[in-house]
Homo-oligomer: A and B are copies of this chain.
Amino acid sequence: MMQAAGQAFWLKRFNLERICEPVHMKSPITLTRIVKEDSMRNRTVLVLVLVALVALARVAGAEVDREKLLKEPGVYATFAVFKLGDQWSHMDKQAKAAAVEEVKRVFQMHADKVSVDTHLVRGLSEKADFFLRVHSKEMIDNQNFLVDFIGTSFGKALKNTDTFNGITKALNYVPKFPEDLKAELKTPPPQGSPYVVVVPIRKDADWWLMPQDVRTTLMKEHTDATVLYLKTIKRKLYHSSGLDDLDFITYFETAKLDDFNNLVTALMQVKENRHNKRFGEPVLLGTIRPLDEILEIIAR
């Protein structure tokens, strides 16, 4: 965990990255141009190879532990939501291809600090084309990755339509739940589901001013309503108060959207629902797809 010696910490985290960056990320673009405009091809190829080697070396053995990040408390998540702007269509095919490669390099470059999941929203919401779910041990690592992503030629053509920040925490109410419910909650969630839903939530003042045991009772009723769907719907919770205009980011994966519709309908029928000042707005419904596929679709 980060210590209060903030300035030193800051220099360490940030400057290291800055020093390495010009070599990794910007040169290749310039170099590509040299290939076309210049005749010093041999030398260029050599430099490109070196750049690739440095990038590989950096990533090798340094990949962040995704499984751990997705399980542990104290992990910071940033959901960055994007929609393609008009500018992109003015670029030619070659520039687009180079831009796509640049994006992949940024993902690679930050792979030792952040874990990034990619989701396609286009077609199922007017609000976005896709979103990135970024996890790391320090919020500034999320920011540094996203700053580099937004700074690419592709990133510059995007409109960042929404961003939600959160932190994972130890379970709050579950420890006080009855043993049989606790046992139910150990049902293994589904794997490899195609659909994703993100629902940002804000509670009202009455909710927060209730005694903890009253909230526990209400959350037990809420949790009872979810038991039926534990096998087909996977869920993850992030705390956002103070980090964003939200209290929680709720994240779901499923192969059965009819079950998900039934689950949400059931959750609206428990008393805790009276205290959701904001539920969605936007609900983001999409499909989980690898980066390459999303780039292929959006950056056509």
Contacts and interface: CB of A to CB of B under 8 A. Distances in A.
Given A10-B194, A192-B10, A208-B268, A261 B285 contact: no
Nearest to A263: B242
In the complex, the count of this chain's copies comes to: 5
Contact of A150 (B123, B156, B165): B123
A92 interface: no
Interface string A218-257: 0000000000000110000001111111000000001111
Nearest to A281: B245
Contacts of A289: 14
B257 A194 contact: no
B4 A126 contact: no
Contacts of A300: 151
A217 interface: no
Interface residues of A, number: 95
A119 to B, nearest CB: 11
Nearest to A252: B242
B2 A256 contact: yes
Contacts of A288: 10
A300 B261 CA distance: 40
The A interface is mostly helix, strand or loop, or mixed, namely mixed
A281 B2 CA distance: 28
Interface of A: 1-10, 13-14, 18, 74, 76, 78, 80-81, 85-87, 89, 120, 122-126, 139-140, 142-147, 149-151, 156, 160-163, 165, 167, 190-195, 197, 199, 205, 208-209, 231-232, 239-245, 254-258, 260-261, 263-265, 268-271, 273-274, 276, 280-283, 285-289, 293, 297, 300
Given A7-B191, A126-B161, A242-B261, 16 more contacts: A1-B256, A6-B192, A6-B194, A8-B192, A9-B194, A122-B147, A123-B163, A126-B162, A139-B257, A140-B195, A208-B265, A209-B274, A240-B261, A241-B261, A242-B265, A243-B283
